[in-house]
Amino acid sequence: MPANFYRPQDKIQHNTRHSRRRFLQLGIGATTALFLPNAFAGSSSSVITQPERKLSLLNLHTGEHLNATYWAEGQYQTSELKAINHILRDHRTGDAYRMDNDLLNLLNILHQKMDSNKSFQIISGYRSPKTNAALNKQSNGVAKKSLHMQGKAIDIRLPGVQLSGLRKAAINCQAGGVGYYPKSDFVHIDTGRVRRWG
pLDDT one-digit tens code per residue, 64-121:
999 999 999 999 999 999 999 999 999 999 999 999 999 999 999 999 999 999 999 9
In this prediction, residue 27 carries a pLDDT of 55
In this prediction, residue 48 carries a pLDDT of 53
pLDDT one-digit tens code per residue, 24-46:
454 555 444 444 333 333 334 44
**Residue 13 located in a structural domain:** no
Q: How many CA atoms lie within 13 A of 6 on its CB side?
A: 10
**Residue 9 located in a structural domain:** no
**Residue 67 located in a structural domain:** yes
Q: Which domain holds residue 103?
A: 19-35+47-197
Question: What's the mean per-residue pLDDT of the chain?
Answer: 82
In this prediction, residue 1 carries a pLDDT of 45
Q: Which residues of 153-191 are buried (b: 16+ CB within 10 A; e: fewer)?
A: bbbbbbeebebeebbebbbebebbbbbbbeeeebbbbbb
**Residue 112 located in a structural domain:** yes
Structural domain count, the chain: 1
Specify the CATH number for the domain of residue 117: 3.30.1380.10
Position 20 pLDDT exceeds 50: no
pLDDT one-digit tens code per residue, 134-158:
988 887 777 888 999 999 999 999 9
**Residue 42 located in a structural domain:** no
**Residue 90 located in a structural domain:** yes
Do 175 and 102 contact (CB within 8 A), yes or no?
yes
In this prediction, residue 136 carries a pLDDT of 83
**Residue 78 located in a structural domain:** yes
Position 197 pLDDT exceeds 80: yes
Partners of 13 in the β-ladder: none
**Residue 11 located in a structural domain:** no
In this prediction, residue 144 carries a pLDDT of 81
